[in-house]
Amino acid sequence: MAGNRGVAYIEPGKVEVQQTDYPKLELQDGPGVNPANIGRKLNHGVILKVVTTNICGSDQHMVRGRTTAPPNLVLGHEITGEVVEKGSDVEFIQVGDVCSVPFNIACGRCRNCKEGKTGICLNVNPARPGAAYGYVDMGGWVGGQAEYVTVPYADWNLLKFPDRDQALAKILDLTMLSDIFPTGYHGCYTAGVTTGSTVYIAGAGPVGLAAAASAQLLGAAVVIVGDLNKERLEQARSFGCETVDVSAGTPQEQVEQILGVPEVDAAVDAVGFEARGHGHDSTHEAPATVLNSLMELTAAGGQIGIPGLYVTGDPGGIDDAAKVGALSLSLGTGWAKSLSFTTGQCPVMKYNRKLMMAILHDRVQIAKAVNATVITLDDAPRGYQEFDSGAAKKYVIDPHGMVKGSAGNGRAA
């Protein structure tokens, strides 16, 4: 039997590449696995040879020790791979297919899945609706920052690329379909971004940059990205966005200088619960800052998309309330302005096929927008460190050297 290696969370600030078990078509006991999931048969699943797997800001929350993730949890929910083995119940996916894996695991059978709410499947996580690979409290499904990984309900979950050679040629764009591209698009879509919109996106990390590219794809007239990190703001400007440096203060004045008015039609929170204050408070964590500022900034009757992660358990929260996800929101502002909010996991399957077509037909260059940068599996710990320090890059792990032209030396797209 072949071996396997994966990137595991060890303790706050530390990940390491470990020897792990080769995947099986049965859910095994291990770090974070819900006891009710142990022994679950996966005849409906496949084993993938991982082509690419990305480091996500959501992973970074765990690695910083800001969740209750257990030691030795194999990370990674952004997965693209080649099918090397399939279960007896898999009918349409074949060995050799190259596929994108939505980060949300869904059964395709429950009420929520049938309604398209694949981010809150009722059958894959005994603890709560919704599951994901390699993530705390998400059922214990093993992560894909590894050489091989199991994907359940393969006929339902996998997005097969129509042509293998074309897919491998565009793999740095297509690898973004597992999470950040649909997530950024979902943030804009739920914020009502359309032709001629003015849009403010809080956060210039990979999800924020993906949201900015999505806003452009949706026809926004002006896309403004706010952040504290000057390198990331420069990356946003590289593909036509306006920018706001929130270390200089709240965004309204800078937005007014750009638009002539201190408000936008739509706003997206791509920061989440580790937000910092604005202006002189930017050195301090203030988890409600982004949401409150977006309510001030969004025009009356507007919408706010919130793909940024918020949690119910944060050991590093700034106070007892923050440690359980309770924030001091100015809900009265939102009510008075009749604002609408959409939160939660992006239902990736709602968007991924259409976004795949946009990539394959050269309507968007998402890898360029997020500065996709290829590293080897062994370089993953370095990638985590650099990403945590604020590097304006989206790290793409290439476990088998399958990315064209990659020597595993940090090559950018």
Mark out the alpha helices in 69-153 (DSSP H runs).
Answer: 111-114
Which pLDDT band, with edges at 50, 70 and 90, does 373 fall under? very high
Which pLDDT band, with edges at 50, 70 and 90, does 409 fall under? very low
Compute the radius of gyration of the chain from its Cα atoms. Answer: 20
336 shares its domain with 388: no
What is this structure's pTM? Answer: 0.95
Tens digit of each residue's pLDDT (9 = 90 or more) over 43-63: 999 999 999 999 999 999 999
Strands 222-227 and 198-202: parallel
* Single residue among 323, 343, 363 that ends a domain in this structure: 343
336 shares its domain with 363: no
168 shares its domain with 311: no
Give the three-class secondary structure for 169: helix
195 shares its domain with 324: yes
Higher pLDDT, 274 or 147: 147
Domain of 300 in residue numbering reads as: 185-343
Is pLDDT at 7 greater than 80 in this prediction? yes
Q: In this predicted structure, what is the pLDDT of residue 408?
A: 47
Sheet with strand 298-306: strands edge to edge: 242-245, 222-227, 198-202, 264-269, 298-306, 340-343
Q: In this predicted structure, what is the pLDDT of residue 413?
A: 47
Q: Residue 401, by phi and psi: left (phi above 0), alpha (psi -120 to 50) or beta?
A: left
Q: What is the CATH number of the domain that holds 195?
A: 3.40.50.720
Q: How far apart are CA 18 and CA 4, in angstroms?
A: 9
* Single residue among 320, 343, 366 that ends a domain in this structure: 343
Q: In this predicted structure, what is the pLDDT of residue 226?
A: 98
42 shares its domain with 103: yes
Q: In this predicted structure, what is the pLDDT of residue 280?
A: 77
Mean pLDDT of 124-141: 95
Q: How many domains does the chain have?
A: 2
Measured over the CA atoms of residue 397, residue 403, residue 407 and residue 410, the dihedral's sign is negative
Is pLDDT at 379 greater than 60 in this prediction? yes
* Single residue among 343, 368, 399 that ends a domain in this structure: 343
Share of the chain above pLDDT 70, in %: 98
